[in-house]
Amino acid sequence: MPELPDVEGFRRTLAEHGVGKPITGVTTLDAGVLRGVSARKLREVLRGRRFGEPRRLGKWLIVPVDGGPETVVLHFGMTGSLEWSGPDDRQRHDRVIFAFDDGELRYRDMRKLQGLRLLVDDAELHRLLAGTGPDALEVSQERFRELLGRRRGLKQLLTDQAVLAGLGNLLADEILWRARIDPHVRAADLDRGAADRVHREMRRVLREAVKAGRVPPRKTWLTGRRDEPSGSCPRCGCALARGRVGGRGTVWCPRCQAG
C-alpha cells in the first residue's frame, strides 16, 4: 500500500492521536522490524515521553521525541501501516504498539521489508535522509525539469527515491498514463512540454490521493483497473498493455501512451 499519500495518511493519524500526550508503554511483538535499536532501548527511551509534530519526506515518516534529541523514523515497505485503535483489537501483523491512556498506535507490517528506527540525534537523522531526493509534492516545475535531464528510463527515474522521494510503482504508472507518455521513454528524451505535463499530473494525482489518505480505488484511474485480468483503459477503452519496465511490473495504455 504505502506510497507518498499513504504515508501522509499515517502521518495524520499520528498527528491526530499520538502527539503531545505521554507514551505509557511500548510493546514490541516482533523485533524483526526494529532497525538498529533493541526492543528494550526503544521502550526505555520512549516510556513517559511524548511524540512531537510528525513530518514526512517521501515515504519516510519522521517523528521527533519531545524534548529531543531522539527521533523515531518509520518506513512502511510494501505492506506496512500505522493504525489507531483501542487496546483490544490486536491483529496478526501488529509488530510494535505504542500505548497511550486513550488508545494504541500500532505499527503493522506483514512482510517486514522495512521497519522502525530510533535515531539518537540530528546528525544520525541527517545521515539517514542524506541520500533522499526532494519530496514529490514539494518539487518545483523547474527543479523537476532538471531532475529529468539524464539518460535513464523515465519510470526508473520517477521511482528512484534518491532523485525524487515518494513515488512508487503504481503511482508512476498512474502519472505516466495521465500525462500520455510511454513508460519506456528515456527521461532526457522528453521535451519541455512533456516534462511539464508529467510534473502537473504528478501534482494532481498526489493532491487527490493525499486528500483521500491513500490512492483511491477509482475505476476512472489506471490504478483502479490494473488488477482486473482484462483491464481496459478508463479513457479510451482499449485493452491495457502489461510488461516489465525497469524490472517492475508496468501497466499502460498502448493507444493513449503510444511512443
Contact status: 161 vs DNA (CB under 7 A) = yes
CB of 230 to DNA, least distance (A): 14
> Is 92 an interacting residue with respect to DNA (CB under 7 A)?
yes
- Measured from the CB of residue 34, what is the shortest distance to DNA in angstroms? 12
Q: How far is the CB of 227 from DNA (least distance, A)?
A: 9
Closest C-alpha among 92, 98, 86 to residue 42:
98
- Active-site residue, 59 included: yes
Extract long-range pairs of 191-199: CB within 8 Å, 24+ residues apart. 192/145, 195/144, 195/145, 195/148, 196/141, 196/145, 198/144, 198/148, 198/154, 198/158, 199/139, 199/141, 199/144, 199/145
CA 103 to mean position of chain CA atoms: 25
What would the x/- binding string for DNA be over residues 239 to 258, using CB under 7 A? -------xxxx---------
- Calpha distance 199→250 (Å, rounded): 20
The CA-based diameter of the chain, rounded to the nearest angstrom, is: 58
Residue 170 in contact with DNA, rule: CB under 7 A: yes
130 counts as binding DNA under rule CB under 7 A = no
Total residues at the site for DNA (CB under 7 A)?
A: 35
Cβ count near 135 (within 10 Å): 18
Per rule CB under 7 A, is residue 113 in the interface with DNA? yes
Q: 152, 200, 203, 235: which one contacts DNA (CB under 7 A)?
A: 152
| Binding map of DNA across residues 72-91, x = CB under 7 A, - = no contact | ---x-xx-------------
Helix axes 169-179, 192-212, angle to 10 degrees: 130
Place of cell 513508460: 183
Judge whether 2 counts as a catalytic residue: yes
Beta-carbon contacts of 202 under 8 Å, excluding residues fewer than 6 positions away, are 136, 144, 158, 167, 175
| Residue that the C-alpha cell 528524451 belongs to | 189
Task: Pick out residues in 177-216 that bind DNA (CB under 7 A).
Answer: 186, 215
In the complex, least distance from residue 148 CB atom to DNA, rounded to whole angstroms: 10
When asked if residue 55 is in the footprint of DNA (CB under 7 A), the reply is: no
| Rounded least distance, CB 160 to DNA, Å | 8
Q: Contact between 28 and DNA (CB under 7 A)?
A: no
Catalytic residue, chosen from 50, 55, 203, 248, is 248
Contact status: 50 vs DNA (CB under 7 A): no
Q: What's the grid cell of residue 12?
A: 495524520
Gap between the Cα atoms of 29 and 99, Å rounded? 13
User: Does 6 contact DNA by CB under 7 A?
Assistant: yes
Residues marked as catalytic: 2-3, 59, 248
Which residues of the shown chain bind DNA in the complex (CB under 7 A)? Answer: 1-3, 6, 30, 32, 58-59, 75, 77-78, 92-93, 110-114, 131, 150-153, 156, 159, 161, 168-170, 186, 215, 246-249
